[in-house]
Amino acid sequence: LAASEDVLYMAVGESCKGLDAATGKVISEFKVPVSEDGLTRAWAYVAYDNGQLFGTSTIRQELEEKLRRRGLTVKSQTDAIFGVDTKTGQFLWTYRGTNILHTTIAIGPEAVYFIDSSLTPEQRQDLYRRDKPEFKNLTGDEALKAEEEMKKLDVRLAVAIDRTTGKKLWEKAVNVTDTTDVSAGGGNLTVMYADGYLLLCGANANGHYW
């Protein structure tokens, strides 16, 4: 659910319906963009800000389980994030990602930020070398030990896209090892935006941040 001053937006199956806040009457409806693999996806994430509606194209867990029972797999549950102009009803853009995490979507005045779970081996190595510059000159057993340590890191891709055009502004590999599964309650990676800064943290089931 998300709301403007006079409309309540609600994700229902493959669409997001706009309900008049005074009467509850459906006054608009937007369909989730068609995915490249042709599989039906639902509208999952919903947010509204300054005349724009934001959503994601997501395979529900039930559908994913049915596909796996049939021997089929999907690359990710969430393959796209998109923006809609609520005044015109037109989709402004659709950004195709690899595996976008709902809990990491944060909207700023000029950009939309999120974490994509996948990155290339080269990006992973670049991050490790940037954080651990002393490992650049390692050889032999020391290099192998450093490589094994690198494989244990939870490294993902932080992305910023222009909220008006959907154009990628930047991407950056980030080490989020200490922000996932932080307690018995689980703990999901979460991103928050304020005053030009992104905060990456773990959100525990009890509401505490790590």
pLDDT tens, position by position, 120-165: 666 666 666 665 655 666 667 766 676 666 666 778 899 999 999 9
Give dist(CA 37, CA 20) in Å, integer: 34
Interval 88-113 mean pLDDT: 93
Q: Is the pLDDT of residue 80 over 80?
A: yes
Q: Is the pLDDT of residue 72 over 60?
A: no
For CA atoms 99, 104, 105, 108, the dihedral sign is negative
Give dist(CA 186, CA 188) in Å, integer: 7
Per-residue model confidence (pLDDT) at position 5: 95
**What is the Cα gyration radius of the chain?**
20
pLDDT tens, position by position, 174-205: 888 877 665 555 567 889 999 999 999 887 76
Backbone φ, ψ for residue 185 (5° rounding): -80, 0
111, 142 Cβ separation under 8 angstroms: no
Using DSSP, state whether 37 is helix, strand or coil.
coil
Start-to-end CA span in the chain (Å): 26
Residue 157, token pair as written in the block = 């891709």
**pLDDT: which is higher, 143 or 9:** 9
Q: Is the pLDDT of residue 109 over 80?
A: yes
State pTM to two decimals: 0.80
